[in-house]
Amino acid sequence: MSDDLNYGEIYAPIYQEYTTVQGKVAEVDQTVGFLERYCSGGSALELGIGDGRVAVPLSGRGVKVEGIDNSCSMLELLAKRTDLIKAWQGDIAHFRTEQRYSMVYCVYFTFTLLFTREEQIACLRSAAAAIDDEGILVIELDVPSLDPRIRGQKTTTVRLVDHENTILNVAVHDPLNQNLISTLLWFSGTSVRRLPQRTRYVYHQELDTMAECVGLELAERWGDWARGAFTEGSNRHISVYRRSSRSPGIFRGKA
Ligand SMILES: C[S@@+](CC[C@H](N)C(=O)[O-])C[C@H]1O[C@@H](n2cnc3c(N)ncnc32)[C@H](O)[C@@H]1O
C-alpha cells in the first residue's frame, strides 16, 4: 500500500497526542483489564499493534504479548517504549505464525482499516488459525452510524471540541464497498493537520457472518470495556469469538 493511505505512517508522528486527545489513552486500563481475563498467564497477539498503547500495559501484567503492524514508524514507536514485546512488520490480512496464542485481538477501529471484504475475511481466517484450541479472538469496532450518510454522499462530523482542539471528519461515502474515504481536520492552536484515511465499516452481524465463514462463533458481545451491555444505543462493541463447535476444521482451510 502506498504511504498516502498507510494509516500508521500518517498517524505515527502524532499518535500519542491524538489518542490522548481522543480519550483512548485514558481508557486503556479498562481495555487491558478486559483483555487480561482471557489470557492471564498465557500469550496474546495484537493485530495492528501500533505504538503499544494497549500491548505495553498488557505485557506489564505478565501476558506474553506479540504484535504485527505494517508501519515501520509505528513499530519504531513501540520499540522505543519496550523491548519485551516481539513485533514484526506484516499485513494483518495475510499472516501465518508458528506460535499459537491464548488470545488474538484487534482493537480501536483497526479492523476497518482493511477496506475490502476479502481482506477482512482473510484477516479473520489468519486470526482463527493463530489461536490455540481454547483460544479466543477479540475485536473492538464502532457501530456504523448511517443517519447522516443516507441523506447524502458527503458528510462532516464534529469528532471533538475542547478548549484547545477541534477535530472534524469530512467523509465521502462509497456505499457499494461500505467504504468511507475521509480526512480528519485537526485544528489546534494555529495549526491545522490534515489526516486522510480509508475504512470499510462493518455491522456486528456481518462480522459474525464473516467469523462463521472461518470457523469461529460469537461467545460474548459487550458495549464497552467495562463489560456494559451491547444495546441499540451502543456506539461500539467488543466481540469475543471462539472456535466453532459446529464446524471444527473449517478454519484450517486455505489462508
Ligand atoms: C488505529 S491504529 C491502532 C493501534 C493500536 N492497536 C491501538 O489500539 O492504539 C491502527 C494500527 O494498525 C496498523 N495497520 C493498519 N492496517 C494494517 C495492515 N493491513 N496490516 C498491519 N497493520 C496495519 C496501523 O499501522 C496502526 O498502527
- What does the pLDDT look like over 234-249, one tens digit per residue? 999 999 999 998 755 4
Confidence (pLDDT) at 154: 74
- Give residue 211's pLDDT: 97
The C-alpha angle with vertex 71 and arms to 66 and 74, in degrees rounded to 5, equals: 70
Q: Work out which ligand 1 atom sits closest to the CA atom of 48.
A: 12
CA of 49 to the centre of ligand 1 (A): 6
Query: In which residue ranges of the chain is CATH 2.20.25.570 found?
Result: 147-199
Least confident of 88-97, 100-109, 150-159, 179-188: 150-159
What CATH architecture applies to the domain 147-199? Answer: Single Sheet (2.20)
Mean residue pLDDT across the chain: 91
CA torsion, points 200, 201, 205, 208, in degrees to nearest 10? 40
User: What average pLDDT does this structure show over 1-28?
Assistant: 88
8 A C-beta contact, residue 175 and residue 199: no
Percent of all residues in the chain with a pLDDT value above 70, rounded to a whole number: 92
Name the percent of the chain lying above pLDDT 90: 79
More confident residue, 157 or 216: 216
CATH number of 3-143+202-252: 3.40.50.150, 3.30.565.10, 1.10.940.10, 3.40.640.10? 3.40.50.150
Give the pLDDT of residue 150.
57
With the most atoms of ligand 1 within 8 angstroms of its CB, the residue from 34, 70, 77, 139 to mutate is 70
Judge contact between 167 and 159, C-beta under 8 A: yes
C-alpha 246 – ligand 1 centre gap (Å): 32
Kindly report, as residue ranges, where domains of CATH 3.40.50.150 are found in the chain: 3-143+202-252
**Which of these, 142, 141, 131, lies nearest to 46 by C-alpha position?**
131
Q: What burial letters (b/e) apply to 14-39, b meaning 16+ CB within 10 Å?
A: ebeebbebeebeebbeebbebbbebb
Q: Which atom of ligand 1 is nearest to the CA of 106?
A: 6
Asked if residue 70 has its Cβ within 6 Å of ligand 1, the reply is yes
Q: What is the pLDDT of residues 35-53, one digit of tens each?
A: 999 998 899 999 999 999 9
- For ligand 1, say whether the CB of 32 is within 6 Å of any of its atoms: no
Cβ atoms 188, 165 nearer than 8 A? yes
Distance CA(176)–CA(178), nearest Å, equals: 6
Residue of 69, 88, 89, 200 to test ligand 1 pocket, by largest number of atoms within 8 Å of CB: 69
